[in-house]
Amino acid sequence: MSTEITLLVLLAALLNAGWNAVIKVSGDRIAVMAVVTLSGSLISALTLPFVELPDPASWPLLALAILVHTGYHFVLPVAYDHGDLGQVYPIARGSAPLLVTLGAAFLAGEVLGAIPLFGVIFLAVGVMALAFDRRTGLRRNPRAVLFALGTGVCIACYTLIDGFGARQAGSVIGFAVCLTIGDGVLTFLIASIWKAGAIKRVAKTNLAPAMVAGGMQIGAYWIVIWALAHAPLGMVSALRETSVLFAALISTFILKEGFGVWRFVSAGLIACGIGLTRYKP
């Protein structure tokens, strides 16, 4: 994977950690997610006249991706209702790379070399170590861990679907724009039935942070969908999950959630994984 793609994916990781922090701290989390994703959809809609629409062959995958992303938009905030950013985010993001690597190997024949594969495993193990934190792990807070793992399954599924869809679409950015319009609108429609009052409160009190988070969400996603079309799915997914390092910093220094021993071990394993995934023989 080239240096340019690596740096862009790292930027996407930072943006992703940032918008997740907004979801965690800004009121009713499903309502905030609805406003964030709708804001992202509006940004995407502004670019629609300037991008090429995806090839019709990719439309079934586009529709499936919209559904899976929408499900993710509801599972993630529920996970944050039960656990803090420094726990939920790493487990959710870290359970995805190994699943994506296995899926890419079986479905697309993308098999990583031994050393990059160890990098993916280090990343996955590093973030999953948080599931065994004595203070906030599976025994003490099972709902947070289980919902975080469910979020990770959603991430793995949409990463594979997005990657295959973008490669069939002809226009990678066109695919990303249509997807972010579709999942944002669908998320908002469902949430408005369920959380209409909460959405109004978010619009009155936290609209600006939610709109900024929407821009961060769209920017992160556009970068990653482009990278998925130009680099191995497993490696992009693994490098994308370095966002857990940014989330750890936000969790520790901004949200004051603490940084225990297991989180230190997790960060160390993740750092090793980053280096290994960048290995070139």
Name the residue ranges covered by the structural domains of the chain: 3-277
- Please report the pLDDT score of residue 249 as a whole number: 79
> Residue 196 — pLDDT band, cuts 50, 70, 90?
very high
> Residue 230 — pLDDT band, cuts 50, 70, 90?
confident
What lies within 8 Å, CB to CB, of 115 at 6+ separation is 276, 279, 281
pLDDT at 136 over 60: no
197-220 pLDDT tens trace: 999 999 888 889 999 999 999 999
35-45 pLDDT tens trace: 999 999 999 99
Using a 10 angstrom Cβ sphere, with 0-12 exposed, 13-18 middle and 19 or more buried, the burial of residue 203 is middle
95-126 pLDDT tens trace: 777 777 777 778 767 777 788 888 878 877 87
d(CA 130, CA 151): 15
Q: Find the mean pLDDT for residues 53-60.
A: 95
242-274 pLDDT tens trace: 787 788 778 877 887 766 666 677 777 877 776
- Amino acid at residue number 62: L
What radius of gyration do the chain's Cα atoms show?
Answer: 18
- Please report the pLDDT score of residue 137 as a whole number: 54
> Residue 191 — pLDDT band, cuts 50, 70, 90?
very high
Of all residues in the chain, what percent carry a pLDDT higher than 70?
88
- Please report the pLDDT score of residue 244 as a whole number: 76
Q: Find the mean pLDDT for residues 171-189.
A: 94
Q: Find the mean pLDDT for residues 178-204.
A: 94
* Among candidate residues 1, 274, 278, 10, the one with its CA nearest the CA of residue 126: 274
Q: Find the mean pLDDT for residues 58-81.
A: 95
d(CA 170, CA 116): 28
